[in-house]
Homo-oligomer: A and B are copies of this chain.
Amino acid sequence: MPQSQLARLLRLRGDLNIDFIESAALRDNALGDPSNRPVAVYLPENYDVEGSKRYPVLYCLHGYTGDVAALVSARPWETNVVQWIDRLISDGKMPPAILAVVDGFTRLGGSQYMNSVHNGNYADYVVDEVIQYVDRVYRTIAREGGRAVLGKSSGGFGSLYLCMTRPGAFAAFASHSGDSYFTYAHPPAFPALHRTLEKFNWNIRAFVEHFERQNKRQTPEYQTIEMLGYASAYSPRSAKAFDLDLPVDRKTGQLVDEVFAKWRAYDPADMCLTKKPELERLRMRYLDCGRRDEYGLDIGARIFTQRVRDLGLKVVHEEFDDDHRNVGYRYAVSMPLLANALEKE
């Protein structure tokens, strides 16, 4: 079978398909996001449709404001996650593996890969539908020991979250600059959330439609939609579109403790304390973060690491001298570790 056009465009040795899955879990979601979703599947060189060899699968989750299209996008002098795995395998730095890039985008910028009465059931979608699809269509090692999950930022969060809440789905994770320790990560954007929505008289729909219409957007507008995205995952109020509990008081902007407590219920830095069994069954746990991360996620990675180690479990934890952006080069560290940790045939 010849390489896909996209694989050639990215100058891969392996191949890259963009498949589409019709998701029951996402059907009729409140935001009107499509239930038909792309999954980008990278196949290593010499992958043989007809052959008998089976491969482990790395599931890659994009970050907030990302999607599958963004993750397979390419720019000169940059290396996307698909190009990284292709190069690592070619260079003999890791064993051949399949990479599946999963789509968790919503109209509010991201689902955090969680089930939400508001957004749809993205956790079900990933774990029940995407995995099943990939196992059915490709030559995978179709069991827990053959699957890992990784991602950056909200994709790192998703990796941690799914491993802690869906035991049996994955045998390893890598969280790059993943959301953790919400105490530092999110409140710095709350003033922007308050100021922006006040301008829209607290009409979230009006703000979102304004946001979508703009040719260019300001930083506070990006911060606002980001906080709305988190609210849609952590503190949805109902299945009605844009019906969300917000962590700021409308009048003053003050933190609303009850709502932020709902958010923190999903903070990996806290969740891990009660998830020893789920974490224990993993073959590998990997976190890293830049020591200049703008969201303080390096602190979050340290707390998670220490707490999981205090549970008696091993964690691979790395830090590096960089900020939150464009840290894709860290895949060169995580993907070989993941692939080596997984079952081979």
**Residues of chain A having any CB pair with chain B under 8 Å:** 4-6, 8-10, 17-20, 38, 65-70, 72-77, 105, 109, 181, 183-184, 187-188, 190-191, 194-195, 211-212, 215-217, 220, 251-255, 291-293, 296, 298-299, 302-303, 306, 322, 326, 329
Identify which of B8, B188, B299, B329 contacts A253 (C-beta below 8 A): B299
CA distance A217 to B329 in the complex (A): 13
Identify which of B73, B254, B306 contacts A299 (C-beta below 8 A): B254
What are the 10 tightest A-B residue pairs by CB atom distance, in nearest-first order?
A73-B73, A5-B18, A253-B299, A191-B296, A69-B74, A252-B302, A215-B329, A188-B188, A70-B75, A252-B303
Q: Which residues of B contact A10 (CB under 8 A)?
A: 69
Q: How many protomers of this protein does the assembly include?
A: 4
CB distance from A158 to the nearest CB of B (A): 16
Q: Which residues of B contact A67 (CB under 8 A)?
A: 75-76
| 18 chain-A/chain-B pairs, Cβ below 8 angstroms | A5-B19, A8-B18, A9-B18, A10-B69, A67-B76, A69-B74, A70-B74, A76-B109, A187-B188, A188-B188, A190-B299, A191-B298, A195-B291, A216-B326, A220-B292, A252-B306, A253-B303, A254-B303
Identify which of B9, B17, B216 contacts A322 (C-beta below 8 A): B216
CA distance A211 to B77 in the complex (A): 9
CB distance from A208 to the nearest CB of B (A): 11
Q: Find out whether the CB atom of A299 lies under 8 angstroms from the CB atom of B191.
A: yes
CB distance from A93 to the nearest CB of B (A): 16
Q: Find out whether the CB atom of A190 lies under 8 angstroms from the CB atom of B194.
A: no
